[in-house]
Amino acid sequence: MGRNPDVSEIHVRKKFKMRRKSFRLCRSDENGTASFGDRHRTLRTTSLYREQYNRILFRSALGDYNELVRGGMLTWEAYEEHRLAIESSMETIRQSIRRYKERRLQAGLFYLVHDIGGTGITVRTHLYRMPLQEALRKRQQEIRRRKPVLDSSNNSKKSNVFDTMVLRPSLKRGFAPLL
């Protein structure tokens, strides 16, 4: 009465194994999405975080640059060879910070405040201290109040990506919006 090994193998083959479904518990905040298992590993960053990161690194690099200038770097031959590359790199970083800042101010949700005496940056927003609907209403009010100031300070003839108004020269205030 022995068992037929071929039959048991067939029976086992009919069974199938399901993979375990795994998921990652994540948290999302103004800096991006991070895993709860490894809090220092950010899965996806936001433009606000990238702007903060660029600002902190630029401030640190500018501090080192100024320290070297005080030490006489402007007289070095190596500096003269690489001066244009250094200046263009600094300008590239400045432009990226400007783009991030323009988008952040256009959205009007977050404000950056430099820490006193340090290189850190603190994020301020209405979302931390009031309900979402009230914060969004407050944001709309601030955008309406800030729009004339932003329009009058925009003295370039380039069209703004976020604004469809065309600016024309005005005798009273530099530039006035065309409606």
d(CA 99, CA 121): 18
pTM of the model: 0.63
Pairing of strands 110-114, 121-125: antiparallel
Q: What is the mean pLDDT of residues 47-52?
A: 92
Q: Is the pLDDT of residue 135 over 70?
A: yes
Compare 4 and 95 and report the one with higher pLDDT.
Answer: 95
d(CA 125, CA 105): 12
Give the model's confidence band at 6: pLDDT under 50 very low, under 70 low, under 90 confident, else very high: low
- Where do the domains of the chain lie? 26-129, 131-179
Compare 160 and 3 and report the one with higher pLDDT.
Answer: 3
> Is residue 154 classed as helix, strand or coil in its secondary structure?
coil
Q: What is the mean pLDDT of the chain?
A: 76
Give the model's confidence band at 130: pLDDT under 50 very low, under 70 low, under 90 confident, else very high: confident
pLDDT in tens, 103-121: 888 887 888 888 877 768 8
Do residues 31 and 46 make contact, with C-beta atoms less than 8 angstroms apart? Answer: yes
